[in-house]
Amino acid sequence: DTGVSQDPRHKITKRGQNVTFRCDPISEHNRLYWYRQTLGQGPEFLTYFQNEAQLEKSRLLSDRFSAERPKGSFSTLEIQRTEQGDSAMYLCASSFVQTGFYGYTFGSGTRLTVV
């Protein structure tokens, strides 16, 4: 297991197009998180899954955003009708939470540029 994988690494899209990102977490991790990082800011929480259940969504996640984690394995984050303000680094992270919390492992991120 090589850690958390995200695909693609970079995406340039025209405003109004739909985009989908994929995240493959560490296989034994039961929690998966999506964060967004814009220039000069720290990562901001978007949503998280416990196995296949999406348990919380941030108010940052407008109705143009949808995330899934079928069968509790990989996850996808889709943005519909992209806007220039969606340009950011989208980070996926996973963790194993049972008896305690020891932080996340982040992927390398998907850099989205909306032109």
57 forms part of the interface with another protein (CB under 8 A): no
Q: How far apart are CA 4 and CA 69, in angstroms?
A: 14
97 forms part of the interface with another protein (CB under 8 A): yes
94 forms part of the interface with another protein (CB under 8 A): no
Q: How far apart are CA 98 and CA 66, in angstroms?
A: 27
111 forms part of the interface with another protein (CB under 8 A): yes
Count of positions on this chain that bind another protein (CB under 8 A): 28
41 forms part of the interface with another protein (CB under 8 A): yes
Q: How far apart are CA 101 and CA 33, in angstroms?
A: 14
102 forms part of the interface with another protein (CB under 8 A): yes
CB 85 within 8 A of CB 100: no
Nearer to another protein, 43 or 114 (CB): 43
Nearest to residue 108, comparing CAs of 37, 4, 19, 2? 4
Nearest to residue 86, comparing CAs of 1, 2, 21? 21
Shortest separation between residue 33's beta carbon and another protein, angstroms: 8
User: Which residues contact another protein (rule: CB under 8 A)?
Assistant: 4, 6, 31, 33, 35, 40-45, 48, 55-56, 91, 93, 95, 97, 101-109, 111
